[in-house]
Chains A and B, each alone.
Chain A
Amino acid sequence: MAAIDLANPTRFLAFSGRLLPFVWAAALVVLGAGLYMALFVAPADYQQGEMVRIMFIHVPFAWLAMACYGVMAIAALGTLVWRHPLADVLQKSAAPLGAAFTFLALVTGSLWGKPTWGTYWVWDARLTSVLILFLIYLGLIALWQAVEDPGKAARAAAILTLVGAINLPIIKFSVDWWNTLHQPASVFRLDGPTIHPSLLWPLLVMAIGMTLLFAGLLLMAMRNEILRRRVRAMQILAAAG
């Protein structure tokens, strides 16, 4: 089946229905292995001791918070340029997931910050820009709820999503552009990761597991949204008699 064939919502429902059990099985296996490595195999950090274990959930959530927004920005282009109905569905379905991941990145970071920095929160560029990302997610969710017509809501949300995408490079490079309490990048660097492999591997396994979890949740949420639109269409037909 060509990828373009999935553009049909009915075919997407059939294909995602067959794919989902494999995605969930992979997510559970990889997340189980990642948690075992993070909690039982990875050594304590030489500086921050056991607190490093929060990194194994905080960092994947921070990556996914941005990746989810990147996916939404691509879908927003699909909505505005190609008027693709599945792009609308993806945009709407991903926003609550992105909000949840961003919330978890902020809260786990705060719980990591108190014992290591001495404070739960500081208004530095990285933390503030991620908080803005969270607020953008909430704004998008509110926008989807406020506009009744799904097509109009999709176009409005797409414009807001693309405007908000300027925040992604600000988040990424905030630790380089400004003096921040948050540490600079230590995995995705031109000169290679600066984390010891004993900590890096559990982190990468957790990140893959969380990404599979995100994929499973997104597919399910998209299927729900397609069904919601069918309900709406049927209700309109029923009302028209």
Chain B
Amino acid sequence: MIAEGAHAGFIVAAYLLTAAVLIGVVAWIVIDGRTQRRRIADLEARGVRRRSAGKTPS
């Protein structure tokens, strides 16, 4: 375990910053995914369909 010391702040800062950036990236991707799904649902509700929708990929 990390011992108390003059440099412990650097270690804590490195791990906290890492956690903050990674949580931010995960949140951004999750929110982006929800946004795109909502947009597709809205367009489909307006009757818009992709040309390839319903086709089975071959």
Could you say which residues of chain A place their CB within 8 Å of the CB of B30? 220
Bound state CA distance, A112 and B37, in angstroms? Answer: 41
* A101 CB, nearest partner CB in chain B, Å: 9
CB atoms of B48 and A234 under 8 A apart: yes
Minimal Cβ-Cβ distance residue in B for A227: B36
| A73-130 interface with B by 8 A CB criterion | 96-97, 100, 103-104, 107-108, 111-112, 114-115
CB atoms of A11 and B57 under 8 A apart: yes
The total number of A-B Cβ pairs within 8 Å is 99
Bound state CA distance, A14 and B57, in angstroms? Answer: 12
CB atoms of A237 and B51 under 8 A apart: yes
CB atoms of A224 and B36 under 8 A apart: yes
CB atoms of A107 and B25 under 8 A apart: no
CB atoms of A112 and B10 under 8 A apart: yes
Minimal Cβ-Cβ distance residue in A for B30: A220
CB atoms of B18 and A57 under 8 A apart: yes
Bound state CA distance, A228 and B28, in angstroms? Answer: 14
Minimal Cβ-Cβ distance residue in A for B39: A231
CB atoms of B50 and A108 under 8 A apart: no
The answer, yes or no, to whether A50 is at the interface (CB within 8 Å) is yes
Could you say which residues of chain B place their CB within 8 Å of the CB of A235? 43, 48
CB atoms of A217 and B26 under 8 A apart: yes
With contacts A50-B3, A107-B17 taken as known, whether A227 is within 8 angstroms of B37 at the C-beta atoms is yes
| A39-87 interface with B by 8 A CB criterion | 39-40, 44, 49-51, 53-54, 57-58, 61
With contacts A223-B33, A224-B29, A224-B33 taken as known, whether A104 is within 8 angstroms of B17 at the C-beta atoms is yes
Q: List 27 A-B contacts (CB under 8 A).
A: A39-B1, A39-B2, A40-B1, A49-B3, A49-B5, A50-B5, A50-B7, A97-B25, A103-B21, A104-B18, A104-B22, A108-B18, A111-B11, A111-B14, A111-B17, A112-B10, A217-B29, A224-B36, A227-B33, A227-B40, A228-B36, A231-B40, A234-B43, A234-B48, A235-B43, A238-B43, A238-B46
Nearest 7 pairs of A and B residues by beta carbon: A227-B36, A8-B57, A115-B7, A234-B43, A111-B14, A108-B14, A238-B48
